[in-house]
Amino acid sequence: MASLMRRVLVLILVMGPMVVMLPGCGGSAEGTIPGGSDMAASAPRGEGAVRPASAEPKQISIDNFRYVPDTLTVPAGTKVTWTNHDDMPHTVTSTGTPKALDSEALDTDEQFSHVFVEPGTYTYRCTVHPKMLGRVIVEKR
């Protein structure tokens, strides 16, 4: 008799925590609600910061002595940002005159930006490594 009572007690001890865990699972689902509202709050903020530019901004990376992409076609009004990922300094400098593009030497992770207002083809190079060539083709909107 005593051993049967002990088994019942063991059963209650084993089952007890399981019964407690079930509502616990339901409760954890509430934790996703604050995360979701966080995302909703940050999205409009990001878009609002970009809105004043008339075209979507574009990025060109400088990687391994190359502009990537080396040819970029954008609508007029686009802001283009170059980022130097090399350990070497590079520049973004127009090949012709007047120099629409004339950056300082960019160290690692430094950026240079330019807003292309006038349609045309803008060819540029790195003054430190003149074989590095790139161009931005700006089309009428």
Query: In DSSP terms, which residues pair with 67 in a beta bridge?
Result: 62
Smallest distance from the beta carbon of 50 to Cu ion, in angstroms? 29
Residue 73 to residue 123: CA distance in whole angstroms: 12
**Phi, psi for 70 (deg, rounded to 5):** -80, -20
Would you give the binding string for Cu ion spanning residues 78-117, x where CB under 5 A is met?
A: ------------x---------------------------
Instruction: Please identify, among the stretches 9-17, 33-41, 75-83, 123-131, the one whose residues bind Cu ion according to the rule CB under 5 A.
Output: 123-131
**Phi, psi for 43 (deg, rounded to 5):** -60, -50
Residue 65 to residue 129: CA distance in whole angstroms: 8
Please report whether residue 72 would count as binding Cu ion according to CB under 5 A.
no
Smallest distance from the beta carbon of 106 to Cu ion, in angstroms? 9
| Nearer to Cu ion (CB atom), residue 75 or residue 83 | 83
Please report whether residue 68 would count as binding Cu ion according to CB under 5 A.
no
Task: Tell me the Cα Rg of the chain.
Answer: 30
Task: Looking at the chain, list the stretches that DSSP marks H as alpha helix, in order from N- to C-terminal side.
Answer: 2-29, 32-50
Smallest distance from the beta carbon of 62 to Cu ion, in angstroms? 7
Binding interface with Cu ion (CB under 5 A): 90, 126, 128-129
